[in-house]
Structure 1
């Protein structure tokens, strides 16, 4: 019986370590990942609002590039063509009515606000 206690303790400790590493995995670094697809704002909105759910796989939870004209600008967010809301990874100096290409993770379409959500975004091409 006394020989089984260290073995059981070792197995429990090993399971705890493996479980901790599984739950607390490193996050994806969007800046270092190549984009799977490139869209304009109207193409991305049309893709996510159509009735064919198989099209959503091309964009949802994927690293994508989105191009459009800035219609609303905040310190850490930008809206392109009033259709795609993008949360930036870092504060960036942006201007309204300028074209931008941005890479980020597509979260999906927000029915309430009627816009596509993208987060962890970085600028690929900007006029500045």
Structure 2
């Protein structure tokens, strides 16, 4: 499922990963991302989340987002890295974009994800 999401001042064409299988697959194997493309990982609850870059050839940035839609952290992730990149606080969403896209589009910590655009999306365990 693809939706247009507003995140702070920017809009992203966003693939939604709301099932365990989709969240596990993520952006593995994807080499061609433009600045306006993203993947949103949706979880059923807030927890400390950890992402890695196994089999992912493109450098990414991840925004960790709480249940209210507020960006709590933005972190870089390196291609093919098996290093875990944890959130510092419990979060419900992870938004991955091409590395540097958040900065280029003016998205910052404290910005808001428009949760209305996720109407009808539910995460499974």
* Shorter-chain TM band: 0.3 to 0.5
The TM-score with structure 1 as length reference comes to 0.32
* Larger RCO of the pair (alpha carbons < 8 Å, separation 6+): 2
The TM-score with structure 2 as length reference comes to 0.33
Larger Rg over CA atoms:
1
